[in-house]
């Protein structure tokens, strides 16, 4: 028996996209705040989890997020050279790009893991990323019905 | 390999073992023992016993060696006759602080080119021996179909669906030595389900091993369901290599700066795209 | 104390409840958390509001509180901080339902409401697993080691001494003053260098300052609050224990080598050599003999591929010295050949005007066609292409002065390494991003003066004073570190390790940006509390989950994910 990816359907019947955004509180969270202050209109597909630094985002939890059925995970950190924690974002970037590679190896779309390094600081930047991310995820099939369940 | 050459190597290794035992450098030497019923791992402690030493088949021994020698007190050591991957595995164990340097003294034996093909191995020969040509795993059709073809997700799904969560892969892996394993933690891998969710069970392990895997293939050999784990972990190593990260190097994925991980401009890396110009094809 | 958190939802004077009606929110939350205590309030951010909430928490004996309100950058952090100060034992979390929800999903109220419910439940889930990091008691040694007694170091020492803080001022030369000892007059107003230096020397002769000439610092170990510095005084080794370190060891001039025939032709000298000659002439009140024309060439060995930076002070120095030359003998013709005169600021602009008014000529050249120096034994002329008119000029010269930049001292690298200071590509020491140029990533370590970039003596002094105040603040802080700029409400860390789960693999040790995670030989990994800034990298790389940041650990992130994942428990149902 295959399960639908999401119990929550939007009014037009399409499965609602659910993404989690790990936003570094030194830049990306500022972008989210600015998007709010400018009353930008964003899709309600994402939920933000503020983090102290993108380097603190555990790849294992990102995998867990996908395993629980989330369509996409975004990790937004500061631009390289601008990390408040002494270049910690460089190692985060390497780890998470490897995670993108790993998703791609088994055949999942690597764009499900969005990485932004300093490109979400302004309101319009954050808004643009969220809109594009949602559009991409909408075009992808749900994760777990393809990976799990009996063959 | 020609029979004659095999005998010469066999005798040379046996001599090294005897030398090690005679010099009292080690309490014993772990190797393969040829018995009537077959080949078993065995700790040779006397010169006479070494008559039963055999070098085939390729049998990953690093984990076994670690289990025996990890509790040895200062000054005691275990010898080990093993392949190049085991030698590398011991180096990884030392780097990771899991065994004292010198507690496992390896006698490396090179693999043949034929074995390298079976193991998808890039470096079948041990340092100090004649070089043997390895292969590039990403050039093998079996690996390509799993890691590069468009419909690979269905193939992986079919493989993963046969996983019975026996933990054989993790148990046999010489790099997997954590006392607290996330694969047994319900917080990461949901307990009580079969097959386990591959995104967490297999991919978490793949991430942890990423730059430390030595390509020994113990995981795949121990898998009762025949999951293609070697291609999975080797593909990850290949991805790291393309990002110019040193494999089995001094540091690890936590290194703050890895060569090749430099940013191009401020505007890179959005949407998981291939905007990192350094990435080779 | 009750385990259930008290939930305060701010309606922001009913503006928020227009987009997300109270009833919808309450129903949604209660459906997932039947025991939720929800209070709607018109505002949270006035002092009376914070007092009220803190009081309510104590009265109803709740251990934790969830605030659903505006963004942390609006008033959220102020509220969190205020609550933390009034009731440090309490756990508090903030979810942003305004900027992060109502204000960006106004066109879709149903979705906004669903998201707000999600956010509140995520907050509650995170709050359950949230703990305070253990307090660590930090008793810094009330002494500061200042490395280098140039103007920056002297000013730092003087400032610290006035605050009653003991200073060890290590200077590797036999007397303090650094490069300032060689400067006769300082720009912009030609103040005698000796006078300027004397002021700071007298400050640094305060009883609190232990001046150590001929002493170099070979190695610095230890942790913030208790650094152990190994010093070497003429071969004798000694140790100084200091709570903070200020690196003020300056920079050194680049010698012109053989540029523009400086080794071959007499009369081609460096700017520093000119300075020395001018000092002598001014002391003797005599005029320079046998010089009819002087040509200054700027940007020698600077702003090119091998050394791609502007050294900031060479232009003002050249102008000052050109003026001095003119003052000694008005008839000497002085020409400055340049690639752009860098004199920012009111005073330096005035210096430039003065120099022009005195008759000094300025000719621009482009780096692609530098000037050529001619002569036979002695220098005789300089020819160049004027970048503005494209005309070829030939200038008679008996003196050619080459302005070269300052470069980092070689000793800087090893000390910087000891102190966790990064060096840029050129070798100058870097502060901390963002916008903390004098502060090192390691707490208790500061830098000032030319060690971080070529500066004028006045600026070096300013930076030295600033670094001293920061160091003093650090020593006074006790458990809280000024460097972290932590508000009590948004503190993270230090990390804590469960020893029995730690496999000692060392990934956190090699990754920690602050050197806080250490692995003792054959021992478990420990976290140095004062160095940890709570970035969480250790948590992300630990394969066993042995390390955690109590304020936001994996358990809380996981719990938050479960709140929003489509079917977190369906997996079990399908396969059992």
Q: For the segment B75-102, what is each residue's pLDDT rounded down to a tens digit?
A: 899 999 999 999 999 999 988 888 988 9
Q: What residues of chain A lie within 8 A of the CB of C566, using their CB?
A: 5-8, 18, 68-70
Mind telling me how many Å the CA of C273 is from chain B's nearest CA? 42
Mean pLDDT to the nearest integer, C536-561: 92
Mind telling me how many Å the CA of A9 is from chain B's nearest CA? 24
Query: What's the CA gap between A110 and A98, in Å, rounded?
Result: 10
Mean pLDDT to the nearest integer, C41-53: 93
pLDDT, residue B251, reads 54
Mean pLDDT to the nearest integer, B231-235: 95
**Helix (H) or strand (E) segment spanning residue C399:** strand C399-402
pLDDT, residue C199, reads 92
CATH code of domain C268-399: 3.50.50.60
Instruction: Give the rounded distance of the alpha carbon of B233 from its chain centre.
Output: 9
B255 part of contact set with chain A, CB < 8 Å: yes
Q: Which of B72, B178, B253 is best to mutate for the C interface (most C CBs within 10 A)?
A: B178
Q: Which residues of B18-36 are buried (b: 16+ CB within 10 A; e: fewer)?
A: bebbeeeebebbbbbbeee
Query: What's the CA gap between B183 and C291, in Å, rounded?
Result: 83
pLDDT, residue C190, reads 82
CB atoms C72 and A40 under 8 Å = no
Query: What's the CA gap between B84 and B107, in Å, rounded?
Result: 9
Ordered structural domains, chain A, with CATH: 19-142 (3.40.50.960)
Out of A32, A55, A61, name the one closest to residue C100 (CB).
A32
pLDDT, residue C487, reads 53
Residue B159 has pLDDT above 50, yes or no: yes
Q: What is the dihedral of CA C67, C72, C76, C79, to 10 degrees?
A: 100
pLDDT, residue A87, reads 86
Backbone angles phi, psi at C129, to 5 degrees: -95, 0
pLDDT, residue A15, reads 59
The mean predicted confidence, pLDDT, of chain A is 86
**8 A C-beta contact, residue C13 and residue C1:** no
Q: Residue B5's pLDDT band (boundaries 50, 70, 90)? A: low
Q: Residue B45's pLDDT band (boundaries 50, 70, 90)? A: very high
Mean pLDDT to the nearest integer, C12-31: 92
Mind telling me how many Å the CA of A146 is from chain C's nearest CA? 14
Q: Residue C520's pLDDT band (boundaries 50, 70, 90)? A: confident
Q: What residues of chain C lie within 8 A of the CB of A49, using their CB?
A: 122, 557, 560
Lowest mean per-residue pLDDT among A118-132, C80-94, C306-320 = C80-94
**Helix (H) or strand (E) segment spanning residue C161:** helix C151-162
CB atoms C560 and A49 under 8 Å = yes
Residue C125 has pLDDT above 80, yes or no: yes
**8 A C-beta contact, residue C170 and residue C147:** yes
Mean pLDDT to the nearest integer, C535-564: 91
Mean pLDDT to the nearest integer, C369-384: 95
Residue B269 has pLDDT above 70, yes or no: no
Bridge partner residues of C325 (DSSP): none
Secondary structure string (H, E, C) spanning B212-281? CCCCCCHHHHHCCCCCCHHHHHHHHHHHHHHCCCCCCCCCCCCCCCCCCCCCCCCCCCHHHCCCCCCCCC
Nearest CA in chain B to C545: B182
Chains that touch B (3 or more CB pairs under 8 A): A, C
Query: What's the CA gap between C110 and C116, in Å, rounded?
Result: 10
Q: Between these two residues, C137 and C278, which has the higher pLDDT value?
A: C278
Do you know the residue count of chain A?
151
Q: What residues of chain A lie within 8 A of the CB of C549, using their CB?
A: 52, 56
B180 part of contact set with chain A, CB < 8 Å: no
- Half-sphere exposure at residue C472, Cβ-oriented, CA atoms within 13 angstroms: 18
Secondary structure (DSSP) of B39-87: EEEEEE-STTGGGGEE--S----HHHHHHHHTTPPTT--EEEEEEHHHH
Residue C456 has pLDDT above 70, yes or no: yes
Q: Residue C523's pLDDT band (boundaries 50, 70, 90)? A: confident
Backbone angles phi, psi at C529, to 5 degrees: -60, -40
Tell which residue, A146, A74, A148, A149, has the closest CA to residue A117.
A74
**8 A C-beta contact, residue B62 and residue B82:** yes
pLDDT, residue C568, reads 46
Across A55-145, the runs of DSSP E, i.e. the strands, are 72-77, 113-117
Q: Which residue has the tokens 């018995």?
A: B35
Mean pLDDT to the nearest integer, B21-48: 93
Residue C254 has pLDDT above 90, yes or no: yes
Residue B226 has pLDDT above 50, yes or no: yes
**8 A C-beta contact, residue C548 and residue C491:** no
Out of B151, B154, B253, name the one closest to residue A94 (CB).
B253
pLDDT, residue C531, reads 86
Q: Residue C365's pLDDT band (boundaries 50, 70, 90)? A: very high
Residue C481 has pLDDT above 80, yes or no: no
CB atoms B270 and A148 under 8 Å = no
Chains that touch C (3 or more CB pairs under 8 A): A, B
Q: Which residue has the tokens 């060569």?
A: B259
Q: Residue B254's pLDDT band (boundaries 50, 70, 90)? A: low
Q: What residues of chain A lie within 8 A of the CB of C115, using their CB?
A: 44, 47
In this prediction, does ipTM exceed 0.95?
A: no
Query: What's the CA gap between B55 and B126, in Å, rounded?
Result: 14
- Half-sphere exposure at residue A99, Cβ-oriented, CA atoms within 13 angstroms: 34
CATH class name, domain C143-252+408-476? alpha beta
pLDDT, residue B97, reads 85
Q: What SS3 class is residue C148?
A: coil
**Helix (H) or strand (E) segment spanning residue B152:** helix B152-160
Q: Residue B276's pLDDT band (boundaries 50, 70, 90)? A: very low
Q: Which of C127, C536, C543, C548 is best to mutate for the A interface (most A CBs within 10 A)?
A: C536
CATH for the C492-551 domain, from 3.40.50.970, 3.40.50.300, 3.30.70.20, 1.10.10.10: 3.30.70.20
Query: What's the CA gap between C155 and C169, in Å, rounded?
Result: 11
Q: What is the pLDDT of residues C70-91, one digit of tens each?
A: 999 999 989 988 888 888 888 8
Measure the CA angle with vertex C282, ends C281 and C283; round to 5°.
90
pLDDT, residue C488, reads 56
CB atoms B147 and A146 under 8 Å = no
> Could you state, in order of their start, the residue ranges of all structural domains in chain C?
6-130, 143-252+408-476, 268-399, 492-551
Residue B179 has pLDDT above 70, yes or no: yes
CB atoms A114 and B199 under 8 Å = no
pLDDT, residue C569, reads 41
Mean pLDDT to the nearest integer, C154-177: 96
Q: What residues of chain C lie within 8 A of the CB of A148, using their CB?
A: 571, 574
**8 A C-beta contact, residue B177 and residue B190:** no
Query: What's the CA gap between B22 and B102, in Å, rounded?
Result: 17
Query: What's the CA gap between C392 and C387, in Å, rounded?
Result: 9
Instruction: Give the rounded distance of the alpha carbon of C286 from its chain centre.
Output: 46
**Which pair of structure tokens corresponds to residue A3?**
């399960």
Residue C176 has pLDDT above 60, yes or no: yes
Q: Cα dihedral sign for C133, C136, C142, C147?
A: negative
Q: List CB contacts of C489: < 8 A, sequence separation 6 or more.
A: C77, C79, C80, C81, C82, C83, C84, C85, C92
Residues 235-254 of B with CB under 8 A from C: 251-254
Q: Residue B258's pLDDT band (boundaries 50, 70, 90)? A: very low
Please give the interface size between A and B, counted as residue pairs whose CB atoms are below 8 Å apart.
137
Q: Between these two residues, C52 and B275, which has the higher pLDDT value?
A: C52
**8 A C-beta contact, residue C40 and residue C17:** yes
pLDDT, residue C510, reads 86
Q: Between these two residues, B109 and B260, which has the higher pLDDT value?
A: B109
In whole angstroms, how large is the CA radius of gyration of chain C?
32
A14 part of contact set with chain C, CB < 8 Å: no
**8 A C-beta contact, residue C44 and residue C9:** no
Tell which residue, B131, B120, B237, has the closest CA to residue B175.
B237
CB atoms A64 and C96 under 8 Å = no
Query: What's the CA gap between C535 and C518, in Å, rounded?
Result: 16
Residue B261 has pLDDT above 50, yes or no: no
Rounded alpha-carbon distances, angstroms, from residue C87 to B45, B263, C83, C131, C539: 67, 44, 6, 14, 28
CATH 3.40.1440 fits C6-130, yes or no: no
Residue B266 has pLDDT above 60, yes or no: no
Residue B2 has pLDDT above 70, yes or no: no
Mind telling me how many Å the CA of C56 is from chain B's nearest CA? 34
Residue C478 has pLDDT above 70, yes or no: no
Mean pLDDT to the nearest integer, A3-22: 61
Mean pLDDT to the nearest integer, C474-493: 60
The mean predicted confidence, pLDDT, of chain C is 90
pLDDT, residue C492, reads 73
pLDDT, residue C521, reads 75
Q: What is the pLDDT of residues C234-252, one digit of tens each?
A: 889 999 999 999 999 999 9
B91 part of contact set with chain C, CB < 8 Å: no
CB atoms C558 and B187 under 8 Å = yes
Q: Between these two residues, C441 and C438, which has the higher pLDDT value?
A: C438
Q: DSSP H helical segments within C229-345, as ranges?
A: 271-284, 314-328
pLDDT, residue B6, reads 65
Q: Residue A12's pLDDT band (boundaries 50, 70, 90)? A: very low
C426 part of contact set with chain A, CB < 8 Å: no
Q: Which residue has the tokens 């985002």?
A: A57
**Which pair of structure tokens corresponds to residue C26?**
């309450």
CB atoms C510 and B252 under 8 Å = yes
Mind telling me how many Å the CA of C566 is from chain A's nearest CA? 5
Residue A3 has pLDDT above 60, yes or no: no
Q: List CB contacts of C283: < 8 A, sequence separation 6 or more.
A: none
A96 part of contact set with chain C, CB < 8 Å: no
Residue A117 has pLDDT above 80, yes or no: yes
Mean pLDDT to the nearest integer, A39-66: 95
Mean pLDDT to the nearest integer, C2-21: 88
Q: What residues of chain B lie within 8 A of the CB of A150, using their CB?
A: 161
Mean pLDDT to the nearest integer, A4-32: 74
pLDDT, residue C289, reads 87
Residue C473 has pLDDT above 60, yes or no: yes
The two most distant CA atoms of chain C are separated, in Å, by: 102
Q: How much of chain C exceeds pLDDT 70, in percent?
A: 94
**Which pair of structure tokens corresponds to residue C173?**
């030369």
CB atoms B200 and A64 under 8 Å = yes
**8 A C-beta contact, residue C511 and residue A29:** no
In whole angstroms, how large is the CA radius of gyration of chain B?
20
A7 part of contact set with chain C, CB < 8 Å: yes
C143-252+408-476 and C268-399: identical CATH topology:
yes
Residue C508 has pLDDT above 80, yes or no: yes
Q: Residue B190's pLDDT band (boundaries 50, 70, 90)? A: confident
B207 part of contact set with chain A, CB < 8 Å: yes
Residue C485 has pLDDT above 70, yes or no: no
Q: List CB contacts of B4: < 8 A, sequence separation 6 or more.
A: none
Tell which residue, A23, A33, A27, A76, has the closest CA to residue C70.
A33
Query: What's the CA gap between C397 and C399, in Å, rounded?
Result: 5
Query: What's the CA gap between C268 and C262, in Å, rounded?
Result: 5
Q: What residues of chain C lie within 8 A of the CB of A28, using their CB?
A: none
Quote the pTM value.
0.84
Residue B23 has pLDDT above 80, yes or no: yes
The mean predicted confidence, pLDDT, of chain B is 85
Residue C124 has pLDDT above 90, yes or no: yes
Q: List CB contacts of C72: < 8 A, sequence separation 6 or more.
A: A25, A29, A33, A50, C80, C94, C96, C490
Q: What is the pLDDT of residues A79-99, one digit of tens each?
A: 988 888 888 999 899 999 999
Rounded alpha-carbon distances, angstroms, from residue B7 to B34, B52, B126, B132, C219: 15, 13, 18, 18, 57
**8 A C-beta contact, residue B279 and residue B240:** no
Q: What residues of chain B lie within 8 A of the CB of C513, using their CB?
A: 256
Q: Residue B262's pLDDT band (boundaries 50, 70, 90)? A: very low
Q: Which residue has the tokens 């702003």?
A: C303
Out of C519, C544, C572, name the one closest to residue B181 (CB).
C544
């Amino acid at each position: 028996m295959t399960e639908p990816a999401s119990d929550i359907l939007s009014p037009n019947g399409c499965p609602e996209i659910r993404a989690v955004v790990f936003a570094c509180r030194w830049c990306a969270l500022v972008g989210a705040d600015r998007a709010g202050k400018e009353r930008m209109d964003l899709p309600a597909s994402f939920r933000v989890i503020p983090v102290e630094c993108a380097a603190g985002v555990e790849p294992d939890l990102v995998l867990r997020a996908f395993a629980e059925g989330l369509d996409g995970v975004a990790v937004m950190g500061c631009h390289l050279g601008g990390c408040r924690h002494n270049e910690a974002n460089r190692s985060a970037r390497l780890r998470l790009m490897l995670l993108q590679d790993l998703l791609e190896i088994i055949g999942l779309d690597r764009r499900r893991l969005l990485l932004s390094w300093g490109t979400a600081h302004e309101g319009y930047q954050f808004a643009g990323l969220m809109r594009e991310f949602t559009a991409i995820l909408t075009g992808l099939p749900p994760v777990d019905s393809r990976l799990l369940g009996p063959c | 390999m020609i029979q004659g050459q095999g005998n010469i190597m066999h005798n040379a290794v046996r001599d090294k073992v005897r030398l090690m035992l005679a010099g009292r450098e080690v309490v014993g030497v772990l190797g393969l023992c040829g018995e009537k019923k077959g080949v078993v791992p065995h700790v040779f402690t006397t010169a006479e016993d070494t008559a039963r030493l055999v070098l085939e088949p390729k049998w990953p021994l690093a984990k076994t060696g670690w289990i025996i020698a990890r509790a040895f007190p200062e000054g005691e050591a275990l010898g080990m006759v093993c392949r190049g991957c085991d030698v590398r595995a011991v180096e990884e164990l030392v780097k990771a602080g899991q065994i004292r340097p010198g507690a496992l003294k390896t006698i490396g034996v090179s693999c043949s080119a034929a074995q390298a093909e079976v193991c998808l191995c890039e470096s079948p020969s041990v340092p100090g021996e004649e070089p043997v040509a390895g292969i590039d795993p990403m050039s093998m059709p079996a690996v390509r179909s799993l890691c590069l073809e468009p419909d690979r997700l269905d193939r992986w799904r079919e493989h993963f669906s046969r996983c019975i969560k026996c933990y054989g892969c993790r148990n046999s892996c010489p790099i997997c030595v954590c006392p607290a394993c996330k694969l047994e933690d319900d917080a990461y891998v949901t307990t009580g389900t079969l097959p386990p969710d591959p995104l967490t069970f297999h991919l978490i392990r793949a991430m942890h091993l990423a730059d430390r895997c030595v390509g020994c293939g113990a995981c795949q050999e121990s898998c009762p369901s025949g999951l293609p784990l070697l291609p999975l972990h080797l593909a990850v190593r290949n991805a790291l290599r393309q990002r110019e990260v040193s494999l089995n190097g001094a540091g690890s994925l936590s290194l703050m700066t890895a060569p090749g991980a430099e940013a191009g401009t401020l505007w890179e890396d959005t949407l998981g795209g291939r905007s990192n110009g350094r990435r080779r094809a | 104390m009750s385990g259930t958190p008290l939930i305060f939802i701010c309606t922001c004077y009913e503006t928020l409840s227009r987009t997300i009606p109270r009833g919808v929110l309450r129903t949604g939350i209660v459906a997932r958390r039947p025991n939720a205590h929800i209070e709607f309030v018109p505002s949270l951010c006035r002092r009376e509001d914070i007092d009220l909430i803190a009081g309510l928490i104590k009265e109803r004996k709740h251990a934790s509180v969830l605030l659903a309100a505006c963004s942390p950058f609006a008033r959220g952090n102020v509220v969190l901080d205020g609550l933390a100060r009034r009731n440090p034992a309490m756990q508090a979390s903030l979810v942003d339902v305004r900027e992060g929800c109502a204000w960006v999903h106004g066109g879709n109220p149903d979705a906004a409401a669903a998201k707000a419910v999600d956010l509140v439940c995520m907050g509650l889930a995170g709050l359950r697993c949230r703990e305070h990091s253990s307090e660590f008691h930090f008793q810094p040694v009330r002494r500061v080691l200042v490395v280098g007694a140039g103007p920056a170091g002297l000013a730092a020492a003087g400032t610290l001494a006035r605050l009653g803080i003991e200073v060890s001022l290590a200077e590797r030369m036999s007397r303090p003053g650094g490069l300032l000892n060689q400067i006769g007059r300082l720009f912009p107003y030609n103040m005698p260098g000796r006078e300027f230096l004397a002021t700071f020397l007298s400050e640094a002769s305060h009883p609190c300052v232990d001046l150590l000439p001929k002493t170099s610092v070979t190695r610095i170990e230890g942790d913030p609050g208790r650094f152990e510095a190994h010093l070497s005084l003429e071969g004798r080794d000694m140790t100084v224990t200091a709570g903070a370190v200020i690196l003020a060891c300056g920079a050194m001039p680049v010698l012109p080598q053989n540029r523009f025939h400086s080794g071959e032709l007499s009369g081609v000298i460096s700017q520093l050599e000119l300075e020395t000659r001018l000092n002598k002439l001014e002391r003797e009140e005599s005029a320079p003999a046998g010089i009819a024309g002087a040509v200054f060439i700027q940007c020698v060995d600077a702003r090119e591929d091998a050394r791609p930076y502007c050294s900031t002070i060479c232009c003002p120095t050249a102008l000052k010295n050109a003026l001095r030359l003119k003052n000694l003998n008005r008839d000497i013709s002085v020409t400055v050949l340049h690639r752009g005169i860098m004199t920012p600021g009111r005073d330096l602009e005035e210096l430039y005007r003065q120099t022009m008014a005195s008759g000094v000529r300025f000719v621009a050249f482009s780096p692609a066609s530098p000037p050529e120096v001619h002569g036979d034994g002695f220098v005789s002329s300089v020819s160049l292409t004027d970048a503005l008119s494209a005309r070829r000029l030939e200038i008679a010269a008996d003196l050619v002065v080459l302005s070269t930049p300052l470069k980092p001292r070689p000793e800087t690298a090893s000390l910087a390494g000891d102190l966790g200071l990064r060096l840029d590509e050129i070798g100058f020491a870097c502060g901390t991003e963002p916008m903390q140029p004098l502060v090192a990533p390691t707490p208790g370590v500061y830098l000032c003066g030319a060690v971080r970039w070529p500066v004028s003596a006045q600026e070096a002094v300013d930076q030295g004073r600033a670094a001293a105040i920061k160091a003093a603040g650090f020593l006074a802080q006790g458990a809280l570190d000024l460097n972290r700029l932590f508000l009590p409400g948004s503190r993270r860390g230090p990390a804590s390790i469960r020893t029995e789960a730690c496999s000692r693999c060392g990934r956190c040790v090699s990754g920690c940006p602050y050197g806080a995670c250490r692995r003792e030989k054959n021992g478990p990994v420990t976290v140095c509390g004062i160095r940890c800034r709570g970035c969480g990298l250790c948590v992300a790389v630990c394969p066993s989950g042995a390390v955690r940041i109590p304020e936001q650990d994996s358990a809380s992130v996981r719990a938050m994910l479960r709140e929003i994942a489509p079917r977190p428990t369906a997996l079990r149902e399908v396969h059992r």
